[in-house]
Amino acid sequence: MSTNTGESRPALTPALTGTELLRWYWTLAELSALARKMGLPAGGGKAAVTARLAAALDGLPAPAAPAAPAPRRAGRQLTAPVTGATVIPPGQRCSQVLRAYFVREVGPGFHFDAFMRDYVAEHAGHTLAEAVAHWHATRVRAAEPQEVGAQFEFNRFLRAWHAGHPDGARAEALAAWQAHRARPRDQAAAG
């Protein structure tokens, strides 16, 4: 691991520059508190709040908000009883009715993973029997390590740390995380 060159994490205040803000790891709670203090919207997720703050700290206009996704039509939701011939209606959610059906058909190991959530959301007009076939067809890919989204920096760090320290204890991993987040991002990435 690289060592901290004596630089310490600055206080998160309106006196920072946007560049300095981006050099350090901040929690969403910290960023939201600063946004509220500065009179900025604190919603929209960590990436949006960070971008908004960085722009405001540098005296730039707020970045354009991404276009909101089209609202999902709630539509008619399936009610029990359902069978393999039941057709998935538009807007169907991953409901308890579907969970009960899939557990009955697949077994107690069933869960709504990304493959099944996407299938239900994107395959209106298909049957529940086809959804069960999809479950079985995706189990090899589902067993492979999935990419952890960039917004989950803590989880990404822990996965990488445990890969490099397979016998490491949780306390060691958390101490390593504290050291990682106390360094600027350019140094943390090297460590």
The residue type at 173: A
User: Could you tell me if 108 and 93 are in contact, meaning their C-beta atoms sit under 8 angstroms apart?
Assistant: no
Token look-up 């405001």 returns 56
Kindly state the tokens that stand for 158: 């822990």
| Mean per-residue pLDDT over the chain, rounded | 87
User: Could you tell me if 1 and 191 are in contact, meaning their C-beta atoms sit under 8 angstroms apart?
Assistant: yes
Q: What is the C-alpha separation between 85 and 87, in angstroms, rounded?
A: 6
- Examine the pLDDT at 4 and tell me if it is beyond 90: no
Token look-up 């204890």 returns 169
Mean pLDDT of 129-145: 92
- Of these ranges, 43-52, 63-72, 143-152, 165-174, the one predicted with the greatest mean pLDDT is 165-174
Q: Where are the alpha helices (DSSP H) in the chain?
A: 18-23, 28-37, 46-57, 96-106, 114-122, 128-137, 139-143, 153-164, 170-181, 185-190
In this prediction, residue 191 has a pLDDT band, given cuts at 50, 70 and 90, of: low
Per the model's pLDDT, the better-predicted residue between 141 and 5 turns out to be 141
Q: What is the C-alpha separation between 186 and 191, in angstroms, rounded?
A: 9
pLDDT, residue 187, reads: 65
Per-residue pLDDT tens digits for 64-117:
876 666 555 567 899 999 999 999 999 999 999 999 999 999 999 999 988 999
Per the model's pLDDT, the better-predicted residue between 92 and 181 turns out to be 92
- The 3-state DSSP class for residue 143 equals helix
Per-residue pLDDT tens digits for 120-133:
999 999 999 999 99
- Examine the pLDDT at 1 and tell me if it is beyond 50: no
Tell me the percentage of the chain whose pLDDT exceeds 90.
63
pLDDT, residue 121, reads: 93
